[in-house]
Structures are given as structure tokens and as C-alpha cells.
Amino acid sequence: MTYRILLIISLVASCESKDPAEIETDSEPVFEIQKIADLDPQLTESSGALFLNGKLYSHSDMGGVANLLQLNLDGTINETISYQNARVKDWEDIASDDNFIYIADIGNNLANRKDLQIFKIAKSQMNNPKAAIETISFSFNDQTDFGNGEYNKNSYDAEAIAVIEGQMYVFTKDWVKLDTKIYRFSTQAGNYPSDPLTTLNIGGLVTGATTTPDGTIVICGYSPTLSPFVAQLKIIDGLPTMHRKVDITGMLGTGSQIEGITYAGKVDGAFTYYLTSEKFTRIIAGQNIEFPANLYELKWNE
């Protein structure tokens, strides 16, 4: 079922900052999202998504060899690429720029990792299991405690990255304050101790990010009670700044553990994205509650 929200925006407000030649007049404001498939049973923990050259890719957050899965839009797995030169602990997101893809081995549920890293692979080699891989290492300069030992009770977990103009943006998944700190450093291979660039009061757990050609960052996530959301960020004076957040609980329902998002181009004038969710299972009051792993399509055009 497709749900649709018409975003009422003043024509003057939407056009005042644009060159008249860039203004599209044939696409109405739209926000709609629909489930398009169940994900393959092998992919119960899809953690990131990438749409590239007309193909959709995803991956699990399980440790071991970096397996990149090319998906069909019916949720089935078409191909698996196993990168032999990269072993991941907790692969949480994937991003790309003109020449490279980036594998974010940044999951940090216990906030005890000192080996956070992002693997960099040339697009020309992305289908080669033996591809040469560069490493971008980084650390959170403001983190001083690495030993609280409590699962999902810290401020330095991370599951989302975005790449814009040679800069890597990392978004924390703060289980304590439900905000996100954003760190920025070069996409060149190296080691980057990083101070937070800014903090956004997102009111939830950020789990994925993507970018559009105009430099907008779109993030996804959910609340501690699994109420999913998406949000647009604009770069203003060099800082990612909240532009709009939409709670999509009423469209997908509570229990949608949205984990990955990727920009897939324009369809009928609307910016289009694919999102993935993980399978979620809990026993509550003696009852087994299960939400499946799904693939969604989001159209969001203002």
C-alpha cells in the first residue's frame, strides 16, 4: 500500500534561492513510501544500501569477509561479491562517490573499539573479489571511556556515512541522548582522529545515510520503540543542518527497523530512494513478535 503526504510549500519560498533556469515546474510536492518486497531470507540483517549503475546493493552487519550483495527489486539476491582483502567486524553502511565505494566497518555497540575503519575500493574494481583496498582509519577525539561494557548504552556507536566532495561524514548512533554527532574527515587513505563537527537533536537512532546530486544528505533511523523516520539535512555554512524530519510510523508501522537508505535517481520528477529494514524478533509477554526484513521505495520531492 502506498501512502502519500502532500507537502504544502509556498511557491515563493521554494523558488527564492534558485536560479529560474533550475526550477522544475512539472513535479508537484510529494512524499510517498511503499513496501516493494520481502528481502531474501539470507539477508535478515541488511544494514546498508547502495544504488549504482542501475543496480541495488546491500550487505549484512555480520562480521567476517565483506560480502556485497547485488539485489533484484523483488528482494532476491542476484550476486554476491566477497572481498578477500577486507575482513569486517561490523559493516554498517556503504557509500560512493564518482570513483570509489566505501565500506563502513564502524559498528560499535559496546563503545570499546579502537579500530574503526572505512574500506575504499575503486568502482572499476568493485566486482573483483581480489580488489585492492585502501583503509581510512579514524577515532572520536571526544571519547574518553572505552570500557563501560554495556550493550547499546553508549554515545559512540555509529551506523551511517555520507560522502560529499572528498569529505567523509560519520553519524553516531547515540543510545543515551538520542541525538547524532557528526564527524568529518578526508576520503583519502590515512588515520584521522576527529572532533565532532556538529550535533543534531534528531530524537532517535541514526542507522543510514545517502546523498543526492545537489548535496542534500538524507538519513534514516528509528526510535528506541522502533518508530521509523527519515530526515533531510542541508549543508549550511559548512555544517549539516536539519531541514526536515518525517516520522513514517503511520506509514510503515511500529517495528520497522529501518537500517539502510540509498538515493536511486529521479522517477517522474521525484527524488527516489530505496530503504531496507532488518528482521526484528522479540518475546513480549510470552508471545513471539516478529517483523520481517523488507525493501521499501520512498519518493520525496519538495
| Pairwise CA distance, residues 286 & 281, whole Å | 13
**pLDDT over threshold 70, residue 137:** yes
Cell representation of residue 7: 507537502
pLDDT band for 19, please (50, 70, 90 cuts).
very low
pLDDT one-digit tens code per residue, 253-297: 888 899 999 999 999 889 999 999 998 776 666 777 778 899 999
Handedness of CA 208, 209, 210, 212 (dihedral sign): positive
pLDDT band for 187, please (50, 70, 90 cuts).
very high
Q: What angle do CA 40, 41, 43 make, to 5 degrees?
A: 70
* pLDDT at position 1: 47
* pLDDT at position 165: 96
Of 212 and 19, which is predicted with more confidence?
Answer: 212
What does 78-147 look like in DSSP terms, one character per residue? EEEEEEEEEEES-EEEEEE-SSEEEEEE---TTS--S--EEEEEEGGGTT-TT---EEEEEEETT-----
Cell representation of residue 217: 544528505
pLDDT one-digit tens code per residue, 252-263: 988 889 999 999
Domain 3-301 sits in CATH at: 2.115.10
Cell representation of residue 57: 546493493
CB 273 within 8 A of CB 261: yes
Q: Is 11 exposed, middle or buried (0-12, 13-18, 19+ CB in 10 A)?
A: exposed
* pLDDT at position 26: 53
pLDDT one-digit tens code per residue, 226-249: 999 999 999 999 999 999 999 999
**pLDDT over threshold 90, residue 91:** yes
CA dihedral 165, 177, 222, 235 (to 10 degrees): -20
Of 292 and 52, which is predicted with more confidence?
Answer: 52
pLDDT band for 27, please (50, 70, 90 cuts).
low
CA dihedral 24, 27, 32, 36 (to 10 degrees): -100
In the DSSP assignment, the letter for residue 12 is: H
pTM: 0.90
* pLDDT at position 48: 97
* Mean of the per-residue pLDDT values of the chain: 90
